[in-house]
Amino acid sequence: MCGIVGYVGNKTAADILLDGLTSLEYRGYDSSGIALNIDGKMKLYKAQGKLQNLRNIIKNDYAEISKSTIGIGHIRWATHGVPSVENAHPHTCNCGKVAVVHNGIIENYKELKAKLESKGCHFKSQTDTETVAHLVASKYAETQDLTEAVRLATKEIEGAYALAVMHQDVKGTIVATRRNAPLVIGFGEDENFVASDIPALIQYTKKAMYLEDNQIVTLTSDSAKIIDINNNPQTLKTETLPWEPVALSKMGYKHYMLKEIHEQPDIVRNVLTGKLKATDEQINLNEVTLQKADLKELKRIQIVACGTSLHAAMVGKYLIEDFCEIPVEVEASSEYIYRKTITDDKTLVIGVSQSGETADTITAIRLAKKKGSHILIITNRPDSTMAREADSLVPVNAGIEVSVAATKSYMAQLISFYLLAIYMAEVKGSINSEELNELKHELIMLPQKIDKVLTNKEEIQKIARKFSGFKDFIFIARGINFPTALEGALKLKEISYINATGYSAGELKHGPIAMLDDSMPVLSVLMKGKVYEKILSNAEEAKARNARMIALTDSDDIKLDDLFENIIHVPEISEILSPALAIVPLQLLAYYIAEFLGKDVDQPRNLAKSVTVE
Ligand code: F6R
């Protein structure tokens, strides 16, 4: 949520900042801005809306702007104050010499603002961030030292922040700091970078350091000095980033989302590598540090997550209960944190998150940790806050996901849950090995089946075109594919803004059926298995109300041709593994509908990739 980039070196800063913001655009896109020091003067350039608007402003003044080799930039997802030029970052103080970009929320900004206003500060925006600019300016007036001014300011700030700060009179210097929001420093030859996420740096350097909470870095083109909030010097710990810049290109696809959907067969292979070696060998999951004896004694598991990750968690519940016979509760993190939460050291708490930075889930796992639960995190970002809080870290290795709508990370989370559930069942001996070996074999074959679905995409495209004019959509399923229906509906509403809802098929007759008529498409996730016949009956009930019937199925039963107007066929698969296959056509359906409607697929309105506020 929001993106920060800063550069100090010998190249045109504006170019690097704009490139950096482009690669962070998936984190927010309602306004943007940069601050540059041009000939000793602090200059701000800001625009409302997409980054292109800022690019246009910069183009008009490029001869002047290109002189600057230092700057900070920001792309915003509004929390305090509407998206507007006034509220866009960077923010500045009365004299305009301090420039600040900020991710996160300053929780005590109202008190700080009142204090600063009483000292004569004039606020120009509705943001919480502007308080930081005035606060740093007032501390600088006392100390004449920018690092010290930032350090003293952070002592008064409450909340979550990643900050990058410049001062007109402190030439060639950026000061940056963080608390509960990510920030990474990148090191180049006579140039240094700071950013809220790796995509902003990776095309320039792979040498980087993740800043820890309350560390403050003072960056010049040839130095990086770090202190903590109590002024103790800190050691620079650089590492080589594992990402390749090419991973962040569209590779010829029209949108990142389409590219990421197509990456899924490889993602499954990646997640299985080293963990599932042969069908008759036990799963190797060294990442689970919970002692096997403790694992056998577990009385309960709770899984907390949000959005798409929550749907993966729901499949995880089904698997763990089925294989291990341990009761599993799944709850949206935002609900888990504001009620009496019952957990203890006999409960395993699993947090699932693509970004590892979702504020609701971070708060939930911290709460459980305080109560003594072992915290297992399934995340795509081993460099994230959640990963650092984990007792056991199961990285899902899906690579950076750029499209705001999660696809490949969902697949990777699902596969991680299969591995985890099999691993736990093997430790507990709760299921016979033949059944598990069969599932392992199917997991190994899964990438080929996903490939087949992807080659059938023209068929899905035709159905998407036919149904793209509908205003509402219902997805129904039962059992292990109920989360598939929820996820299919979420994908569609996120990127096409169509009112799509997932229902348990058995619930249809208890209310939602009232909405059905010929203006309502009903998509049934109809995978062969225990609930196949039941869903078929529920689909009949919908057909009897003239709903427009679509099936997604691995069955070749010709009876279906009479019931359904359109059928999306997928290769045959066991019911237990079917969520990992059935979701792919639903991702494609959502993608093509949004594309036909001309929506901004990768950056849907009002959303941001990583939601760092509660
Ligand atoms: C949906 C989507 C969101 C996220 C949710 C949780 O496509 O991307 O619903 O799944 O905001 O984010 P993470 O997984 O980063 O915790």
- CA atoms of 129 and 244, how far apart (whole Å): 33
Question: What kind and span of H or E run contains 377?
Answer: strand 374-379
Q: How many CB atoms lie within 10 A of CB 546?
A: 12
Q: Could you tell me if the CB of 309 is within 6 A of ligand 1?
A: yes
- Ligand 1 site-directed mutation target among 1, 261, 309, 614, most atoms within 8 Å of CB: 309
Residue 165 CA: distances (Å) to CA of 25, 210, 226, 503: 21, 18, 15, 48
Contact 266/274 with Cβ under 8 angstroms?
no
Q: Could you tell me if the CB of 494 is within 6 A of ligand 1?
A: yes
Please, what is the average pLDDT of the chain? 93
Among 222-231, 241-250, 413-422, the minimum mean pLDDT is found in 241-250
pLDDT at 245: 65
pLDDT tens digits for range 360-370? 999 999 999 99
Please tell me the distance between residue 409's alpha carbon and the centre of ligand 1 in angstroms: 9
Q: Could you tell me if the CB of 611 is within 6 A of ligand 1?
A: yes
Could you identify the atom of ligand 1 that is nearest to the CA of residue 491?
7
- CA atoms of 197 and 25, how far apart (whole Å): 11
- CA atoms of 46 and 32, how far apart (whole Å): 6
Please tell me the distance between residue 311's alpha carbon and the centre of ligand 1 in angstroms: 10
pLDDT tens digits for range 203-243? 999 999 999 999 999 999 999 999 999 999 999 999 998 77
pLDDT tens digits for range 444-474? 999 999 999 999 999 999 999 999 999 999 9
> Could you tell me which of 185, 138, 144 has the C-alpha nearest to residue 164?
185
Please tell me the distance between residue 1's alpha carbon and the centre of ligand 1 in angstroms: 11
b/e string for 162-192 if b means 16 or more Cβ within 10 A? bbbbbbbebeebbbbbbbbbbbbbbbbeebb
Residue 539 has pLDDT above 70, yes or no: yes
Terminal Cα-to-Cα distance of the chain (whole angstroms): 12
| More confidently predicted of 338 and 416 | 416
Residues 213, 396, 407: CA angle, nearest 5 degrees: 105
- Ligand 1 site-directed mutation target among 308, 377, 612, most atoms within 8 Å of CB: 308
- CA atoms of 352 and 386, how far apart (whole Å): 9
pLDDT at 612: 67
pLDDT at 246: 61
b/e string for 528-540 if b means 16 or more Cβ within 10 A? bbebbeebbebbe
- CA atoms of 211 and 90, how far apart (whole Å): 21
Q: Could you tell me if the CB of 147 is within 6 A of ligand 1?
A: no
DSSP string over 522-588? EEEEE-SSTTHHHHHHHHHHHHTTT-EEEEEES---TTHHHH-SEEEE-----GGGTHHHHHHHHHH
Q: Could you tell me if the CB of 221 is within 6 A of ligand 1?
A: no
Question: Confidence band (pLDDT; 50, 70, 90) for 67?
Answer: very high
Contact 325/430 with Cβ under 8 angstroms?
yes
